[in-house]
Structure 1
Amino acid sequence: MKFGKKWRIVSAAVIGVIALGFIFWPKPKAGDEPDEVEVTDSAEVERLVLEYGIPVDRYKVDYGIVERNQNLSSILSNHGLTSRNIHDLNEKAKDVFDVRKIRDGQAYAVFKTKDSIPQTMFFVYEETPKSYVVFDLRGDYRVYRGENPVEWKQKEIRGRVESSLWLAMEKCDASPLLALVLSNIYGWSIDFFSLQKEDEFRVVYEQECVDGKELDNFHVLAASFRHSDSTYYAIPFTQDGEELYYGVTGNSLEGAFLKAPLDFYRITSRFSNSRFHPVLRRYRAHHGVDYAAPKGTPVYAIGNGKVIAKAYQPNGAGNYLKIRHNSVYVTTYMHLSRFAKGIKVGSAVKQKEVIGYVGSTGLSTGPHLDFRVFENGKPINPLLIKSQPKKPVKPELMPQFVSLRDSLVRRLEAMADSVAG
C-alpha cells in the first residue's frame, strides 16, 4: 500500500517536470531547420582540405602531365575507365569543354577511392593556371568548370641596365616579361633597342598569383625610366572609363598611327590566315592588307620611325621597305614601283613622309600596296591598329591627376637602393 502511494507521488513529480520542460524549453524560430550533427571526439576530426573544390583527404590523388599524343581517352583508360564510360563522359562534356583541346604539357589530377580496389571518382584538367575542368565520374557523370582563387601581390623594383632590360629584370629577381610590359608602355617615348648602360628604371607593380605561384600577368602602378639624361614617368590614370599611362604633364604616352599609308585607295584583300593567291593559285596566309591604287600613288610612313630594310624580292614582295617605329611596332610596305629619293637603311622618317610609290613589282597581278604591321614580331591586322592619338588628361580632371602624380613620383623617388637586384 505504502509502495503504491509512493509510486503515485514519484510518477506525478516526473510528469510535472516533463510538463515544465515543454513549457519552458526554447522553441525553434520560424525558418530554422534542424542540422544533422555527428558528435565526434575532436582528436578524430580531420581538417578538410579542398583542391579544385574536392575534399582531397578523402581520396588518393594521382597527379600527372599530359604527354605528347595523349588525349582524354588514353589518360582515363589508364585509370580503369572503359570505352563506354569515356564515351558517356564525352557526351556530358559537349556543352562545357571540347575534349579535343586537351594539350600536352598541361597538368591533371585523378581522384580515386582509398579502397583495396580503387575506383576513379574525378578527373581534373588544368586548362590554365587559373581555370580547370572537373569531370565528375560519380553517378550519371557531370562536367563543370572551376577557377582557382587569384591574388595580386604588390612589388617594387629598381635596377640599372648593363646589357639589356631583359637581363636587368632577371638581376632584380623579377620576371623578364615585365620588360615587355614596360616596352609597351614606353614604346612611343623610348627606343628600347638603343638603351645605354646605366639607364635606370623604377617600377611599382602588381603581379597575379595562384596558390602562391607567380603568373606572368602584371599591372604597373607607377614607373620611371631614366634614359639619355631624361627621366620618363608613367602614371596610370582613368578617364572616360579607360586607363592609360600619362607623363608628368598629363599627355598620353601612346603615340598615333595614320589610318592608312596612302590617301586614295581601295581595299582589295584583307588580313587572313587563308586567302586564295591570284598568282600561285592556292590558299595561303595573307597577313596584311592590299590597297589597290594607281601606279605612282605616294606611300606614306604611318608613323615616325627608322628604315631597317630596303630591298627587292623578285618572287615575292618586289621593292619593299621595313620601318621600325618603336620597340613594339614594325611596318612593311611591299610591291613599290620605286623608293622615295634619299630613303635608305638607317633613314629616320616622319609620320606621313613619302617613302615610296605604289607599283606591281614582285609577285603581283596589278598595282597595289601590300601593307603589313608586326607587333612584338607577330603579324597583326593593320585595320585594327590604334590609329588615333590618345587625348591628354581633361582640364577638369587635372587636379585629381596632379594629386595622384605627385604621390606616385614621391614613392618612386623614395625607393631605397636595397630594392634593386
Structure 2
Amino acid sequence: MKKYLNISKKVRVGLAVLVGILVLFLIFRPKPRMNDSLDEVEVTDSVEVKEIVCKYGIPVDHYDISYGIVQPNQNLSYILGDHGLSSADIHELNEKAKGVFDVRKIRSGQAYAVFTVPDSTRRVRFFVYEETPKTYVVFDLRGERRVYRGENPVEWKQKEIKGKVESSLWMAMQKLDTSPQLALVLSNIYGWSIDFFSLQKEDEFRVIYEQECVEGKELDNFHILAASFRYSDSIYYAIPFVQDGEELYYGATGNSLEGAFLKAPLDFYRITSRFSNSRFHPVLRRYRAHHGVDYAAPTGTPVYAIGNGKVIAKGFQANGGGNFLKIRHNSVYVTTYMHLSRFAKGIKVGSEVKQKEVIGYVGSTGLSTGPHLDFRVFENGKPINPLLIKSQPKKPISPDNMSQFVVLRDSLINRLSAIN
C-alpha cells in the first residue's frame, strides 16, 4: 500500500510539471505579426522563374536580332557575307540545305532575321529566312551546322460582315475594311448560282467566316462558315456540310452549289497534246507554254460548249488560234475553242449557249499542222489543265443526312439574319 502511494505521488508530480511547461510555452511563445496570414508560407530560398520568349523557336533573350528584307539581286551568299561569314561557312550551309531548301529560291521582298551573340565578336548564330508568313527556314550556325524548316503558330479568327454592293463586290469588301480576296472566295462558292459580273446596286450579302492569322497578322486565307446573298430578288444561301468525307456548300434545299462541265468539248477525239509549260511547237519549232489540250478529230467534227454560258469573244487569229470562240460560264470559268473550221450558225458575241450546244466545228485554221481543237480553260483569269476540272455534279444532301443538315441550316440562317 505504501509503495502504491509513492507511485501515485510521482505521477501527480509529473503531470504538474507537464502542465507548468505548457503554461510557460503559451505565455512566452512568439506572437504572430498582424500582417501574417495562416494560409501563407514564407519562402526563404527561391529562384525567380522567368518566361522564355522565343522567335522562330529561338530564345530572343540570348541574342541580338536584326531584321531585313531581301533586296533585288541579293542571294544567301551576299546576305551572310555581309554579316561576316566566310566563303567556307556559306558553302557548308549550302551543302546542309540540300534536300531541305533550295537556296536559289530566296526571293527579293521576303523578310529575314539574323541572330548574333551580344558581345564584341558579334558572331552570327542563326539566319532565318521567312519563306511565307507561316513558314520559315532556319540556318543554324552553331556546332555542326544544320538547316531546318519551321512553322509559325496559326490561329483562326471568326468574323461576321454584312454589306451592300454599290459598284462591285470587290469594292464592297474594301469599304467594310475586309480583304477583297474574300470576294474571290465567295465567287468560287456561288459561281454556278450568281453572275458576279451582273450584280445590281443594293444586292446584299452576309458572311460568317474564319480568317487565318499569324502573330496577329491577317492572311488572305478564309473558310466560309455560312453566307447569304440577295441577288435578283432571291436569297442564295451557302451552308457548308460534310458528306461522304467531303465538305461542300449547299443551298437551303440541300442541293450542291457546285455545277458541272462536260468531260470533253467533242464526242470523238484523240488527245495529241496535253497541258504544259514547255511544249515543242510543231510549226514554230521551239519550246513554249501550251496551256490547253489538243483534241485531234476530223475536220467538221461538232464542238460543244462544255457548260452553259455567254459568248464573250469571236474572231480570227492568222498567226495563232485561227477561228476561235471564248465563253464565260460564270464569274470563275472561261473556256476557249481554237482552230475551228467554222462557227455554228447564229453564234455571235453575246449569244447565250447551253451545255452541249454546238458552237463550231473542228478545223485547222491559224498556226496548225492538221485538224484539231485547241481547248483551254481559265479559272479566275489563270489557265488551268482542262483535264483536271470537275466534270460531274455533286450529289445533294442524302435522305439519311437531311435531318442533320436541316438543324445546321436553320441555326446558320438565324445567325446570318442576326448580323448587324
Q: Please show how residues 1-400 of structure 1 align to structure 2 within 5 Å.
A: 42=48, 47-400=51-404
Question: What code does the residue aligned with 1:131 have?
Answer: T
Cα distance between partner residues in 2 of 1:366 and 1:89: 53
CA-to-aligned-CA distance 1:282-313 (integer Å, 9 cap, x gap): 11111111111111111000000000001011
Larger deviation, residues 116-125 vs 229-238: 116-125
Segments of structure 2 that go 5 or more residues without pairing to the other structure are 1-44
Cα distance between partner residues in 2 of 1:312 and 1:135: 55
The residue aligned with 1:26 is none
Question: Once the 2 structures are TM-superposed, how far is the Cα of residue 41 of structure 1 from its aligned partner?
Answer: 5.9
Cα distance between partner residues in 2 of 1:366 and 1:143: 53
Using the size of structure 1 for normalisation, the TM-score is 0.88
Secondary structure in 2 aligned to 1:193? Answer: helix
The residue aligned with 2:20 is none
Question: What code does the residue aligned with 1:94 have?
Answer: K
CA-to-aligned-CA distance 1:70-95 (integer Å, 9 cap, x gap): 11110000111000010111111112
Secondary structure in 1 aligned to 2:287? Answer: strand
Question: What code does the residue aligned with 1:150 have?
Answer: V
Question: Once the 2 structures are TM-superposed, how far is the Cα of residue 369 of structure 1 from its aligned partner?
Answer: 0.5
Structure ID, larger Rg: 2
CA-to-aligned-CA distance 1:41-71 (integer Å, 9 cap, x gap): 64xx654211011110111101001111111
The residue aligned with 2:8 is none
Coordinate RMSD, CA, aligned: 1.0
Larger deviation, residues 278-287 vs 77-86: 278-287
Cα distance between partner residues in 1 of 2:324 and 2:296: 16
Cα distance between partner residues in 2 of 1:111 and 1:184: 43
- Kindly report structure 1 stretches of 4+ aligned residues shifted beyond 6 Å: none
Question: What code does the residue aligned with 2:346 have?
Answer: G
Secondary structure in 1 aligned to 2:375? Answer: strand
Secondary structure in 2 aligned to 1:183? Answer: helix
Question: Once the 2 structures are TM-superposed, how far is the Cα of residue 140 of structure 1 from its aligned partner?
Answer: 1.2
Secondary structure in 2 aligned to 1:275? Answer: strand
Question: What code does the residue aligned with 1:56 have?
Answer: V
Q: Tell me which of 401, 408, 415 is aligned to 2:412.
A: 408
Cα distance between partner residues in 2 of 1:166 and 1:212: 24
Secondary structure in 2 aligned to 1:302? Answer: coil
Segments of structure 1 that go 5 or more residues without pairing to the other structure are 1-38, 417-421
Question: What code does the residue aligned with 2:184 have?
Answer: L
Cα distance between partner residues in 2 of 1:89 and 1:405: 55
Cα distance between partner residues in 2 of 1:368 and 1:337: 10
Secondary structure in 1 aligned to 2:67? Answer: strand
Cα distance between partner residues in 2 of 1:117 and 1:365: 68
Question: Once the 2 structures are TM-superposed, how far is the Cα of residue 232 of structure 1 from its aligned partner?
Answer: 0.3
CA-to-aligned-CA distance 1:75-134 (integer Å, 9 cap, x gap): 000111000010111111112111111111111000001102211111011111111111
Question: Once the 2 structures are TM-superposed, how far is the Cα of residue 384 of structure 1 from its aligned partner?
Answer: 0.4
Secondary structure in 2 aligned to 1:204? Answer: strand
The residue aligned with 2:42 is none
Question: Once the 2 structures are TM-superposed, how far is the Cα of residue 364 of structure 1 from its aligned partner?
Answer: 0.9
Cα distance between partner residues in 1 of 2:310 and 2:161: 32
Question: Once the 2 structures are TM-superposed, how far is the Cα of residue 274 of structure 1 from its aligned partner?
Answer: 1.0
Question: What code does the residue aligned with 1:272 have?
Answer: S
CA-to-aligned-CA distance 1:181-238 (integer Å, 9 cap, x gap): 0000000000000011000000000000000000000000000000110100000000
Secondary structure in 2 aligned to 1:407? Answer: helix
